[in-house]
Amino acid sequence: MTAAPTDAERLLELLLEPCCPICTLSRQAVLSYLDEQLVRSGVSGLPSPQGDRLPGVRAVARPQGDRPRQAFPIPTELATGVLCSRHWRKLVMLEVRRGARVRLSEALLGELLEGADAPRPCPACEVQQAAARHYLGMLSRLPTETLELALRQGEGFVCLRHLAALPTGPLKGWLLERVHTLTLDLPRFQQRYARHHGTYAGEHAAGDMSASPKEDPQAALAALAALEGEGWLA
C-alpha cells in the first residue's frame, strides 16, 4: 500500500504547478472541514430521531406532508459560530455535489442572517487561517536546496497575501522574484493557470458563483494577489 504523502511532500508537489500551494492546501482544508460537518449533520442519511437531545441541534421547519417536522442536527462547531457567506456558498456546493437535499446550508442561512449585526467567528475561516499558518511555517523550515530546486523545476508561487506573512529573508526574496517574473508574461501564465485550474470548473457549474479561470482573464492576476473573496482561492 502506497503511503499518503506528507504535508511537506504535498507542498513541494504543488510548487511544481502554476498555483499558490498555501492557497490550495488551505482551501482543501476548508472543503474537508465542511464535508466533515455534512457527514456529522447526517446529510448523507436521515436526521437522528434523538437529534433534539444533542448539543448543537436546532429544530428546523421542513414541510413533510402529513408527517411531523423533524429536528435537523447542526454540528456544534457550526452552531457556536456563523459561517461567512463565502464559506456558506461552499457548503451549498458540497451538498449539491453529494446529490443530497440542501438541508444543512438551509438551516444555517438563518444563523448567517442573524449574525449580520453581531458577527461571530466563522469556523471555516479559522480552519483556513490555521492551515495557511501551518503550511507557511512548513515552507519556512524546508531546506534551502530543496526549495531552490522546486522553484527552478516548477511554476509554483506564493501569492502576495501569503508572502506578506513571511519574515523578511532569502526565501521571501526568491518568492517575490517569482511573482515578478510571472507578471512579465501574463498571457502565458494565464493560459497555464487556466489549464491547471480547469478541474475546478465543476465548482462553478455546481453552484459556485465565481467565474471559471478559463472565462476570466483576471483570474491569474487575482491568484497572484490572492484577493480576499476570490472564488478560486476561497
Q: How far apart, in whole angstroms, are the C-alpha atoms of residue 44 and residue 190?
A: 38
With 80 as the cut, is the pLDDT of residue 29 above it?
A: yes
pLDDT score recorded for residue 222: 79
pLDDT score recorded for residue 193: 81
Nearest to 40 by CA among 93, 90, 76: 76
Q: How far apart, in whole angstroms, are the C-alpha atoms of residue 35 and residue 218?
A: 29
Tell me the three cell numbers of residue 73.
442536527
91-144, pLDDT tens digit by residue? 888 887 877 666 777 767 766 665 556 566 788 999 999 999 999 999 999 998
CA atoms within 13 A on the CB side of 102: 15
The H-or-E segment that residue 11 falls in is helix 7-14
> Higher confidence at residue 13 or residue 201?
13
Helix/strand/coil percentages in the chain, nearest 5: 55, 5, 40
172-200, pLDDT tens digit by residue? 998 999 999 888 888 888 888 888 766 44
The H-or-E segment that residue 62 falls in is none
The H-or-E segment that residue 227 falls in is none
Whether the Cβ atoms of residue 230 and residue 222 lie closer than 8 Å to each other: yes
151-175, pLDDT tens digit by residue? 888 889 999 999 999 989 888 998 9
Compute the average pLDDT of residues 203-222.
53
31-80, pLDDT tens digit by residue? 999 888 887 776 544 333 333 322 333 333 333 333 333 344 556 666 66
Residues 6+ apart with CB under 8 A from 15: 21, 147, 150, 151, 154, 156
**Strands 57-59 and 71-73, sheet pairing:** antiparallel
Class of residue 103 by CB neighbours under 10 A (exposed 0-12, middle 13-18, buried 19+)? buried
